[in-house]
Amino acid sequence: MGEWQAKGFWYSEWAFPLFVACLASGIFAGTHLYYVYHVGAFNDIAIVAMLEAGIKGGGYGAAAAFGASFLFARILEGPLVGILDIGGSLQTGIGIGVPALMLGAGFTAPLTSFPLALATGALLGFIIGTVIIMIRKYTINASNSTFGADVMMGAGNAAGRYLGPLIVISAIMASIPVGLGATAGAAIFYYYNKPIAGGAIIGAMILGAIFPIPTQ
Amino acid sequence: MVTLMIVLKSIVIGALVGFGVGAGAARMFHAPNVQGMGAFRTFGELNACAGDPISHFSFGLGFLFNSWASVVGAGALTQDVDHRVIPNWAAAVLLWRNKNVAETLHNPKQMAIAGAAVGVVVVTLLNSTATAIPESMQLVATKVLVPAANWLINPIMPIVFWMAAMDAGKRTGIWGTVLGGLSHLVMGNAVPGIVLGILIGKGLDDSGWNKITKSMFIAVILLFVFSGFFRGFDVALLKSMYVEIPQWLIELHETFGSVVKK
């Protein structure tokens, strides 16, 4: 990853709002699918349940406050650390918080119409992307310091290495056959110089399909 | 008819989402010089699979079963679709033909295109097939992969980032420790705080207290104050100190739509 290749449209600052616009457009339209067909919201059950509570007539306050606060925090954090958290900012903020605010205020059109949903999401995403690039301009980009990018990259790489052993341990705690499968898979992958996470999952799945994990 | 509409819309949604996720994920590998989009967990997990297509594929597959269970049950795709399935499968597709991660996984153009293709398939599949999933596979996902991934996010990632901050010098160590602890309290995970600590600590090491480091410092304080308020940390703090919550604070929370429980 040398400096020489991090150039051009795909790496540029101004391409970022476009990428956020695409993603936010899709996520907002996903909420449209959920609102109309009850399928397709891009979030975890617990968070979608807050929106559902509003749709069922229980008030949109919880979903709106939760979503808006995540969105706000992630927009401030994103430009500083160089990674915008999709889960907090777009999936929860744009996908749950903003729709809850709109529905709470009585605007149903952006959620009932598919084209309008796409446009609303794209516009909001573009604004968020632009705000983030603006904050960057006045912080990271205005300085010669790299602000410890190397430290963070190193930590990110180091943390990743833990996943394989964690999967094996988790599999062992799930059931004996699944644990044996994960252990054997990890060992085989290690022998062939492959990351053991992949082997552990495949091993756990194969044995888990033959000997299902008992449910209480 | 309804299924057809869901399929058609899902194709559009999947392409848009996959395109953004792919480009954002590849750009994470160039952060913070380039603004990326994804999550620290996505970044760590992509690194764990170390550019091996089978590992990327199987990791994504595990979470596909998990999402499947969730969409059948509640119509919710889970955040794993954007954070795990699409980026890892896009990486798997690209790495299958070219093992050089600089030209594939770290390349926003390649990842955006592959992500869009994967997004169309995954989102359409999940939204349209609300029927039979092998339950035994679902169980492996929820009982094995979910706990392992949760342990990675907490406590492994906080510890690894924390140690990296402490090893990088006295200043990053102190800032990382203080902001990390506060971040775990307020935001629920120490990693964002430690990363901000590294940013400020290294910024001060390199250039001292100038306009940029000062404005970053103010931004960080605002971040903590606002996320603390909106997540109700102020109320929880007062409660755990057995202090009566003042009426004006309850009313302030109410104006933003959150209800303070007595």
- Of A155 and B54, which is predicted with more confidence? B54
- Closest Cα in chain B, distance from residue A99 (Å): 14
Neighbouring CB atoms inside 10 A of B226's CB total 15
C-alpha dihedral over A162, A163, A167, A168, to 10 degrees? -40
Put simply, whether A123 touches B (Cβ < 8 Å) is no
Q: Which two tokens stand for residue B207?
A: 């250039």
Question: How large is the average pLDDT for residues B136-147?
Answer: 79
In a domain, B138, yes or no: no
Q: What is the pLDDT of residues B221-249, one digit of tens each?
A: 988 888 888 778 889 999 999 999 899 98
- Closest Cα in chain B, distance from residue A138 (Å): 7
Domain's final residue, options A140, A161, A183: A140
Which pLDDT value is given to residue A183? 97
Residues A176 and A90 in one domain: no
CB-CB neighbors (< 8 A) of A1 in chain B? 29-30, 102, 106
In a domain, A79, yes or no: yes
In a domain, B139, yes or no: no
Residues A130 and A192 in one domain: no
Residues B120 and B5 in one domain: yes
Residues A77 and A159 in one domain: no
Average pLDDT value for chain A: 87
Residues B122 and B191 in one domain: no
Is a pLDDT exceeding 70 seen at residue A125?
A: yes
Calpha distance B215→B221 (Å, rounded) = 10
- Closest Cα in chain B, distance from residue A127 (Å): 15
CB-CB neighbors (< 8 A) of B35 in chain A? 13, 16, 78-79, 82, 84, 132-133, 136
User: Phi, psi (5° rounding) for residue B99?
Assistant: -80, -5
In a domain, B194, yes or no: yes
Residues A82 and A113 in one domain: yes
Residues A72 and A30 in one domain: yes
- Element spanning B210, H or E: none
In a domain, A216, yes or no: no
Say whether B70 and A37 touch across the interface (CB within 8 A): no
Residues B152 and B114 in one domain: no
Is a pLDDT exceeding 90 seen at residue A74?
A: no
Q: CB neighbours of B228 closer than 8 A, spacing ≥ 6?
A: B186, B234
Residues A134 and A90 in one domain: yes
Domain that holds residue A99: 9-140
Residues A118 and A181 in one domain: no
Neighbouring CB atoms inside 10 A of A76's CB total 20
Put simply, whether A51 touches B (Cβ < 8 Å) is no
Residues B163 and B107 in one domain: no
Average pLDDT value for chain B: 88
Residue B220: pLDDT band with limits 50, 70, 90: confident
Residues 212-231 of B with CB under 8 A from A: 212-213, 215-216, 219-220, 222-223, 226-227, 229-231
Say whether B47 and A157 touch across the interface (CB within 8 A): yes
- Of A145 and A137, which is predicted with more confidence? A137
Residues B15 and B94 in one domain: yes
Residues 180-199 of A with CB under 8 A from B: 182, 189, 194-195, 197-199
Calpha distance A125→A67 (Å, rounded) = 15
Residues A22 and A87 in one domain: yes
Number of domains in chain B: 2
In a domain, B70, yes or no: yes
Least confident among A113-122, B124-133, B228-237: B124-133
Residues B153 and B74 in one domain: no
Question: How large is the average pLDDT for residues A126-141?
Answer: 88
Nearest to B164 among A24, A29, A154 (CB): A154
Question: How large is the average pLDDT for residues A199-203?
Answer: 88
> Are A95 and B241 a contacting pair, CB within 8 Å?
no
Residues B155 and B100 in one domain: no
Residues A95 and A201 in one domain: no
Say whether B152 and A42 touch across the interface (CB within 8 A): no
Domain's final residue, options A118, A140, A162: A140
DSSP secondary structure, A32-47, as one string? HHHHHHS--BSS-HHH
Nearest to A198 among B43, B58, B226 (CB): B58
Residues B13 and B98 in one domain: yes
Put simply, whether A53 touches B (Cβ < 8 Å) is no
Say whether A78 and B74 touch across the interface (CB within 8 A): no
Which pLDDT value is given to residue A6? 63
Query: CA of A149: which chain B residue's CA is closest?
Result: B32
Number of domains in chain A: 2
Residues B4 and B43 in one domain: yes
Label each residue of B73-132 as H, E or C.
HHCECCCHHHHHHHHHHHHHHHHHHCCCCCCCCCCHHHHHHHHHHHHHHHHHHHHHCCCC
Which pLDDT value is given to residue A216? 66
Length of chain B measured in residues: 262
Question: How large is the average pLDDT for residues A142-160?
Answer: 76
Residues A127 and A41 in one domain: yes
- Closest Cα in chain B, distance from residue A69 (Å): 5
Residues A50 and A130 in one domain: yes
- Element spanning A85, H or E: strand A83-85
In the numeric block, the tokens 């010089």 are attached to B33
- Element spanning A57, H or E: none
Say whether A41 and B77 touch across the interface (CB within 8 A): yes
Q: What is the pLDDT of residues A6-46, one digit of tens each?
A: 678 999 999 999 999 999 999 999 999 999 988 999 998 88
- Closest Cα in chain B, distance from residue A15 (Å): 10
Query: CA of A7: which chain B residue's CA is closest?
Result: B34
In a domain, A214, yes or no: no
Is a pLDDT exceeding 70 seen at residue A155?
A: yes
CB-CB neighbors (< 8 A) of B15 in chain A? 26
Domain's final residue, options B79, B111, B132: B132
In a domain, B251, yes or no: no
Say whether B48 and A195 touch across the interface (CB within 8 A): yes
Calpha distance A113→B128 (Å, rounded) = 20
In a domain, B158, yes or no: yes
Q: Which two tokens stand for residue B153?
A: 């996010």
In a domain, B244, yes or no: no
Query: CA of A28: which chain B residue's CA is closest?
Result: B13
Domain's final residue, options A124, A140, A156: A140
Query: CA of A211: which chain B residue's CA is closest?
Result: B136
Question: How large is the average pLDDT for residues A49-71?
Answer: 81
Domain's final residue, options B132, B159, B192: B132
Residues B122 and B199 in one domain: no
pLDDT above 90 as % of chain B: 48
In a domain, A1, yes or no: no
In a domain, A2, yes or no: no
Domain that holds residue B178: 145-230
Say whether B108 and A11 touch across the interface (CB within 8 A): yes
Which pLDDT value is given to residue A112? 95
Picking from A55, A59, A25, the residue whose alpha carbon sits closest to that of residue A42 is A25
Residues A178 and A81 in one domain: no
Q: Which two tokens stand for residue A8?
A: 């051009």
Q: Residue B36: helix, strand or coil by DSSP? A: strand
Q: What is the pLDDT of residues B16-73, one digit of tens each?
A: 999 999 999 999 998 878 899 999 889 989 998 888 999 999 999 988 988 887 887 6
Q: CB neighbours of B198 closer than 8 A, spacing ≥ 6?
A: A147, A148, A151, A152, B161, B164, B165, B168, B172, B175, B176
Residues B35 and B103 in one domain: yes
Residues B78 and B166 in one domain: no
Which pLDDT value is given to residue A1? 41
In a domain, A215, yes or no: no
- Rg value, chain B, Cα: 21
Put simply, whether B147 touches A (Cβ < 8 Å) is yes
> Are A40 and B13 a contacting pair, CB within 8 Å?
yes
> Are A167 and B148 a contacting pair, CB within 8 Å?
yes
Domain's final residue, options B76, B105, B132: B132
Calpha distance B75→B196 (Å, rounded) = 36
Say whether B33 and A149 touch across the interface (CB within 8 A): yes
